[in-house]
Amino acid sequence: MPICEGCGGSFDENFKFCPYCGRAKPALTPLEVNLNISLKDVWETCRIYMAIWDGAVSYIEYQFYAEAIGPNGKYIEGESPTFRKFLMDQATADKGYIASEPAHRFLVNQLISDGWEAIPSGGQWWETQFRRRVIVENLKPWELWILKYESNPHKKWLSMIFTLSRINGTKKIRGKDYPEYVFYGQSREFKGKVIGSFRSEESLCVLEEFTSQMTKEGFIPVSQAVNEQLKKCLCEKTDILWFYRCFIKRK
């Protein structure tokens, strides 16, 4: 009940004047609330999905990617290298998992290193979910680029170059389609054998030159140990993939 500022008597709040001394009821003082919302109180979420492409007659090509929802809407946070499942290989039905596991593990570890926290998830085994506080210090989203080679045949040798490539576009698909690759940079030309491995002193020298140049242009090579594991996304016999390199590029 209101208290009269004149005589100290209390009276019904519906009264506009004190019934004892006639003094007007004091006006209500607006309640001021200072509410400061920090970016640290805002969370963004992330979930791993799988894209599927028809790679060739003998295999289907897959890729994991992390789709995040932040203050500005949806965006692709990161991606794994592509991996293959061979359709005609009945001898080892788990080869699809052997190829997909290092790709999934790489994406999960990279997200965690970028500040994402894994949270309980449902759905398929690969659909891991994450959350992260929105802070200025958060690292930018990234793309994964793979070092590959291209060759043009001559009579007795191959004209070869190294280049970086990734599947085109930031919007991933969840149904079968043919992948379209984009390329970045190329090494100087070198010669390769028509038959057998093209590994040589010249090709190794060109590979190191090209890797160094791409690093200067902002492409960050993954560690050697991680790179060796990611070779299994393409082939179990990783020794033939001596040239294979993976690079992270922040957007």
The reply to whether 45 and 104 lie within a common domain is yes
* 202 sits in which H/E element: helix 201-216
Answer whether residue 171 shows pLDDT above 60.
no
The reply to whether 45 and 124 lie within a common domain is yes
pLDDT-based confidence at residue 92 (cuts at 50, 70, 90) = very low
Provide the domain limits for residue 128.
40-133
Backbone angles phi, psi at 170, to 5 degrees: -100, -15
Report helix, strand or coil for 229. Answer: helix
The reply to whether 58 and 82 lie within a common domain is yes
pLDDT tens figures, 136-158: 889 999 999 999 999 888 767 88
Q: Is residue 25 part of a domain?
A: no
Answer whether residue 175 shows pLDDT above 70.
no
Give the number of domains in the chain: 2
The reply to whether 217 and 191 lie within a common domain is yes
Q: Is residue 18 part of a domain?
A: no
* 102 sits in which H/E element: helix 95-113
The reply to whether 149 and 95 lie within a common domain is no
**What is the b/e burial string over 161-179, where b = at least 16 CB atoms within 10 angstroms of the residue's CB?**
bbbbebbeeeebeeeeeeb
pTM of the entire predicted model: 0.77
The reply to whether 200 and 118 lie within a common domain is no
Q: Is residue 55 part of a domain?
A: yes
Q: What's the CA gap between 167 and 144, in Å, rounded? A: 9
The reply to whether 115 and 159 lie within a common domain is no
Q: What's the CA gap between 2 and 26, in Å, rounded? A: 8
